Structure 1
Amino acid sequence: MADTLLFIHGTGVRQEGYDQSIALLRKGFAKAGLAIDIDGVCWGPKLGVDVDATAVEQVLPPTLTKADEIGPEDIGLRAALWAELLRDPLLELRMASMRPPAGGKQNAALPGVDPADIALTNRLVEFERTVNDPLPGEVKAEAVRRAAQWLTKQPLLKSAAAAAGDASDADLLQAVGRAIVAKALIDSRGEMGTGPSALYVADDREALVEVIVGSFPQTKGLGSWLWGGVKALAEGAATYYGRDRRDGLMSGVSPGIGDILLYERRGGAILVMIEEKIAAISAQGKRVVVLGHSLGGIMMVDLLSRPRQAGPLPVTMLITVGSQAPMLFKFDALGTMRLKEALPPGTPYRPWLNIYDRNDFLSFCAARAFPGVVDGIDDFEVESNVSFPEAHSAYFRQPSFFAKIAGSWPKP
């Protein structure tokens, strides 16, 4: 009789996702030449979180859903702009550099006047020399100085200045000020809740920007050629953030988060469902290899490490894919194995094949995670070459995934 691969799906998966995963597994293993039965435990529809639209709306703060509802001083716009800047401090300068250079291709300066890029660099160097404490938002002058030094080395600064054509351009200097503040705040991040007040108070950020901009010579221009595009980007981002929070909770995010919380608090019924399925397949005289994806992998690591009066579950091999089980062990958050205690006999379960993708931020290595375990755990990397979050669901479409499992399949 053929061996059985038992698939345990992860968080947020319901019938459609389960069916698609099973189909991909069957297709992939057939192509890899591995003749096995494919079965699974579709626990999501019956035991997972059931999202109720009315319940979600009742707990969400009111959000703006149209860009034209957001005024220029609206907190949603400010929050969205700073959210983007704290990911990419050069965002505005990147946008500015896309504009054709002012004054034609050569961007020629007047006789005896430095070109805009040189003039702006010189002003930043002078600013680095003169900036002193105290500054708004509890940001240290040294942090601002380092951020300014970093900015002077960025090629985008010169191309943005060339696009403006004037080192005193109001839009350009506002973008420079925000870039410096964003970089300083990124570098000031530490443990949650620590750091300067400008990390947490929007007005403090703006005040620090104004101090920086105010240290430069008199600005020129009405501040519209760049700010118009930046404002439109921020409005779009604010609209997206508000709608995404609601829509995400209504679709994949709420089942995803909810399933995890449900398992942590009341996961017993799901584990019983899995255990009964394993026993039923084994009773047919078949060997069972369990494949757990994401939360499914956590469930199997927990289940296989539990003591049972009837003896160990009849599982021949454990495969985890995109699993957080190793990290949860380091958090001391697994069900049975404790971080600072001797591991119970037979734990972690082995043989264990743990498949990860470095682009999948929810996957972790297992072989080095458990103290004293020197063999029996094999970490294997799949290179999907797609970004997160798609990488977390890309394993079942990678030939290397199926080739590795086929090559690692237990011998008869």
Structure 2
Amino acid sequence: MPDTLLFIHGTGVRKSGFDQTMALLREGFRDKLAIEIEGICWGPDLGVNVDDKAIEDVLPLALAKADEIGSEEIGYRAALWGELFRDPLLELRMASMRPPAQSDQDAAKPGVQAADIAMTDMVAGVVQKVSDPLPGGVQAQAVRDAALWLMKEPLLKSAAAATGDALDEDLVNAVARAIAATALIGYRNELGTGPSALYVAADRDALVKSIVDLFPQTKGIGSWLWNGVKALAEGVATHYGRDRRTGLMNGVSPGVGDILLYERRGDDILAAIERKIVALAEQNKRVVVLGHSLGGIMMVDLLSRARQPGRLPVEKLITVGSQAPVLFKFDALGTMRLRQALPAGTPYRPWLNIFDRNDFLSFCASRAFPGATTGIEDFEVESNVSFPEAHSAYFRQPSFYAKIVESWPKP
């Protein structure tokens, strides 16, 4: 009787995703391992299923339908700052892509300073002039450090050179926002902490103006940069609005919803998995379980439970893209507590834990559980794709199949 690999899918997966992964597993092990491959598609019947109407009932009315979203309505300035917090140099990147300014010859004249040098000198002036108190509760030292960092960035000079005038109003405001964003990023630690400029748009605007005021008087020569930045922010804002709706439908329901459901009412899912394992064992089949993402958490929980008939008949546990190790560190696993002695036989072993450093939802297990120094192996798959695609890329990597074949339990 051939061994059986029992696949337990993760959060958000429904019939089409389950079928695709099962097909990938069958193809991946073809001619490599003489096993049967079975799975439990728990998502459609036991997972979260919420329709559009249910989500629209809880959304603010202006965000309920994508075609009702307007850029001002959801705040393109908020969208711009969201992007600046990811990349404070965003506007300067845009400015540096402008065709070269026509003032290069003027810069060579006696007494005329090149725009890139002039801008660097003006940012140095910000370093020297800035002082407390500043609007929004930001410390002058944070602005000083941000300006010093910006002076070392080549984009500062290239943006000024492309503009051709260091006193261009759009450019100076972009530089001020880059300094303010960099300073505020330094305060983004524990949620809810930090200066009011992180949370109050008017305070943030006042901070930027206070930085602009440290520059010489600017020349209002059009909104060439701001118009482009505004257009970008409007696009981001509209995309955000659509994402909020579709994200709730495709992410929270069923994605995050499955996790919340399992944490509160997961016994039905675990019971279905247990019945399947027992049924396979009663057919004299050796069972290896493979749990992806939330499926891996389920299997770590299930195989660590005390069970009256004794340990479940599983030869090996394989988790892939699993959060079980970090949930243990959060003291959030269902069957093992962080500050209590681990019950005998927990965590379940042998355990092969497969991760990808590009998958931000995968973690290492071999060092997670005190006292469990043997029987847990971490193996890295290098998909070379970015998150979130990396979280589902395992089943397309030759190294994933090679490792499971190599570590399959001996007869």
Query: Superposed, which structure 2 residues align to 1:61-140 within 5 Å?
Result: 61=60, 62-63=62-63, 65=66, 69-71=70-72, 76-103=75-102, 108-140=107-139
Q: Which residue of 2 aligns with 1:372?
A: 371
Q: 1:215 to 1:67 in 2, by over 3 A?
A: farther
Q: Which residue of 2 aligns with 1:335?
A: 334
- Asked if the contact 1:7–1:292 (Cα under 8 Å) also holds between the matched residues in 2, the reply is yes
Q: Which residue of 1 aligns with 2:5?
A: 5
Query: Superposed, which structure 2 residues align to 1:3-402 within 5 Å?
Result: 3-30=3-30, 33-61=32-60, 62-63=62-63, 65=66, 69-71=70-72, 76-103=75-102, 108-402=107-401
Q: Structure 1 length normalisation: TM-score?
A: 0.97
Shift in Å, 1:111: 2.3
- Asked if the contact 1:357–1:383 (Cα under 8 Å) also holds between the matched residues in 2, the reply is yes
1:378-407 per-residue CA deviation (whole Å, 9 max, x = no partner) reads 000000000000000000000000000000
Q: 1:364 to 1:68 in 2, by over 3 A?
A: closer
Partners of 1:179 and 1:263 in 2: CA distance = 43
Partners of 1:110 and 1:244 in 2: CA distance = 52
Please state whether the residue corresponding to 1:373 is helix, strand or coil.
coil
Partners of 2:283 and 2:103 in 1: CA distance = 80
Unpaired runs of at least 5, structure 2: none
The alignment yields a C-alpha RMSD, in angstroms, of 1.4
Please state whether the residue corresponding to 1:175 is helix, strand or coil.
helix
Please state whether the residue corresponding to 2:147 is helix, strand or coil.
helix
Q: Which moved more, 1:250-259 or 1:19-28?
A: 250-259
- Asked if the contact 1:356–1:363 (Cα under 8 Å) also holds between the matched residues in 2, the reply is yes
Return the letter of the residue paired with 1:26.
Answer: R
1:214-266 per-residue CA deviation (whole Å, 9 max, x = no partner) reads 11111113441111110010000000001001012222442001000000000
- Asked if the contact 2:74–2:241 (Cα under 8 Å) also holds between the matched residues in 1, the reply is no
Matched length:
409
- Asked if the contact 1:107–1:165 (Cα under 8 Å) also holds between the matched residues in 2, the reply is no
Please state whether the residue corresponding to 2:377 is helix, strand or coil.
strand
- Asked if the contact 1:67–1:235 (Cα under 8 Å) also holds between the matched residues in 2, the reply is no
1:347-373 per-residue CA deviation (whole Å, 9 max, x = no partner) reads 000000000000000000000000111
Please state whether the residue corresponding to 2:354 is helix, strand or coil.
strand
Return the letter of the residue paired with 1:7.
Answer: F
Shift in Å, 1:104: 6.6
Please state whether the residue corresponding to 1:354 is helix, strand or coil.
strand
- Asked if the contact 1:67–1:236 (Cα under 8 Å) also holds between the matched residues in 2, the reply is no
- Asked if the contact 1:5–1:37 (Cα under 8 Å) also holds between the matched residues in 2, the reply is yes
Partners of 1:160 and 1:399 in 2: CA distance = 45
Partners of 2:66 and 2:85 in 1: CA distance = 23
Please state whether the residue corresponding to 2:86 is helix, strand or coil.
coil
Please state whether the residue corresponding to 1:144 is helix, strand or coil.
helix
Partners of 2:74 and 2:45 in 1: CA distance = 41
Q: 1:378 to 1:107 in 2, by over 3 A?
A: farther
Partners of 1:82 and 1:396 in 2: CA distance = 37
Please state whether the residue corresponding to 1:251 is helix, strand or coil.
helix
- Asked if the contact 2:317–2:351 (Cα under 8 Å) also holds between the matched residues in 1, the reply is yes
- Asked if the contact 2:66–2:245 (Cα under 8 Å) also holds between the matched residues in 1, the reply is no
Partners of 1:242 and 1:381 in 2: CA distance = 37
Return the letter of the residue paired with 1:16.
Answer: S
Q: Which moved more, 1:218-227 or 1:119-128?
A: 218-227
- Asked if the contact 2:353–2:379 (Cα under 8 Å) also holds between the matched residues in 1, the reply is yes
- Asked if the contact 2:102–2:164 (Cα under 8 Å) also holds between the matched residues in 1, the reply is yes
Partners of 2:216 and 2:75 in 1: CA distance = 31
Partners of 1:138 and 1:75 in 2: CA distance = 26
- Asked if the contact 1:66–1:239 (Cα under 8 Å) also holds between the matched residues in 2, the reply is no
- Asked if the contact 1:109–1:115 (Cα under 8 Å) also holds between the matched residues in 2, the reply is yes
Shift in Å, 1:130: 1.1
- Asked if the contact 2:3–2:35 (Cα under 8 Å) also holds between the matched residues in 1, the reply is yes
Partners of 1:241 and 1:20 in 2: CA distance = 29
- Asked if the contact 1:97–1:163 (Cα under 8 Å) also holds between the matched residues in 2, the reply is yes
Q: 1:229 to 1:135 in 2, by over 3 A?
A: same
Q: 1:222 to 1:58 in 2, by over 3 A?
A: farther
- Asked if the contact 1:101–1:107 (Cα under 8 Å) also holds between the matched residues in 2, the reply is no
Partners of 1:243 and 1:3 in 2: CA distance = 47
- Asked if the contact 2:129–2:214 (Cα under 8 Å) also holds between the matched residues in 1, the reply is no
Partners of 2:68 and 2:145 in 1: CA distance = 36
